[in-house]
């Protein structure tokens, strides 16, 4: 940090950008940039809406844009960045944004990949007990220690791992949760007098995942290289259960043979148990 009153900028002032602005406002002077800024929300939070150039003049930049728009946002901002600036992404995948920052950011700009494992809904009662993932790319020990302490002061657990490990694990946690939630959301599932707690838990997953934008779901499924294998594994598990119920069903047998052939020709499996 270069000044007595450091500044942070939030690039992308959507639902998560507004949450992050509230959090950062506790310790920093906060600027926000969005192509269609919500000036009312900015005044309520106590942050300043500025141009992209002014946002990039801050000490620390948080990019809170959709995964599919991250590369274009970095390219637009990179010409305004000053040496020593720290850039952080907040994407739910990590291999893609880390590679973009490695390729597009100047070498004299620090870069730290992050994935806050929370959002406006899960953080509505506070941050204590929530988690955030750090994937350091090009960041000083002092900056890393500072931001680890920043989150830990708020009760947030910081987990450090490689981008590949993050995406491999996330495909079988966040990725599968959003996929199943979207699939179940296509069914007319309604609460009633004879529903169970388990059913209500399923309803909770549907509500949580469908509350997020379709763009987030789309990007999670397309920008994590491990999600195709996750979906294959999910379909294979569904087929296995159906065959146990109907072992002589010819359509299910044909589907299983096709899955086995696909697995043999699909190369090395990429999943949570892959070596």
| Helix axes 95-104 and 70-77, enclosed angle (nearest 10) | 20
Is the distance from CB of 94 to CB of 67 less than 8 angstroms?
Answer: no
- The mean predicted confidence, pLDDT, of the chain is 93
User: What's the pLDDT tens digit per position in 46-59?
Assistant: 999 999 999 999 99
Mean pLDDT, residues 214-231: 96
Mean pLDDT of 19-24: 97
Q: pLDDT value at position 112?
A: 98
Mapped onto helix, strand or coil, the DSSP state of residue 30 is strand
11 closest CA partner among 117, 102, 122, 85? 85
How would you class 205 by CB atoms within 10 Å of its CB: exposed for 0-12, middle for 13-18, buried for 19 or more? middle
The residue among 120, 19, 1, 146 whose CA lies nearest residue 10 is 19
95-149 pLDDT, tens per residue?
999 999 999 999 999 999 999 999 998 899 999 999 999 999 999 999 999 999 9
- CA dihedral 32→127→68→59, nearest 10 degrees, is 40
Q: Among candidates 144, 114, 110, which has minimal Cα distance to 131?
A: 114
Query: At residue 80, what are phi and psi to the nearest 5 degrees?
Result: -95, -10
HSE on the CB side for 214, CA within 13 Å? Answer: 2
């Amino acid at each position: 940090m270069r000044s007595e009153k450091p500044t942070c900028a939030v690039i992308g002032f959507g639902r998560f950008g507004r949450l992050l602005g509230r959090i950062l406002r506790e310790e920093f002077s906060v600027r926000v940039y969005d192509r269609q800024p919500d000036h009312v929300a900015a005044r309520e939070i106590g942050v300043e809406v500025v141009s992209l150039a002014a946002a990039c003049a801050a000490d620390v930049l948080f990019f809170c844009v959709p995964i599919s728009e991250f590369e274009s946002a970095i390219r637009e901002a990179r010409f305004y960045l000053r040496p020593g600036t720290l850039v952080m992404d907040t994407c739910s995948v990590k291999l893609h944004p880390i590679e973009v920052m490695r390729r597009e950011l100047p070498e004299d700009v620090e870069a730290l990949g992050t994935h806050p494992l929370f959002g406006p809904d899960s953080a509505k009662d506070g941050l204590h007990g929530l988690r955030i993932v750090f994937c350091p790319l090009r960041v000083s020990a002092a900056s890393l220690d500072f931001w680890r302490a920043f989150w830990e002061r708020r009760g947030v657990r910081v987990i450090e791992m490689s981008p590949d490990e993050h995406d491999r694990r996330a495909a079988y946690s966040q990725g599968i949760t959003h996929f199943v939630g979207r699939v179940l959301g296509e069914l007319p599932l309604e609460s009633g007098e004879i529903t169970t707690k388990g059913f209500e838990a399923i309803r909770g997953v549907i509500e949580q995942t469908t509350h997020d934008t379709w763009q987030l779901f789309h990007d999670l499924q397309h920008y994590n290289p491990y999600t195709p294998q996750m979906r294959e594994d999910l379909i294979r598990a569904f087929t296995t259960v159906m065959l146990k119920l109907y072992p002589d069903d010819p359509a299910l047998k044909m589907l299983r043979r096709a899955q086995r052939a696909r697995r043999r020709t699909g190369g090395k499996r990429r999943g949570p148990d892959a070596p």
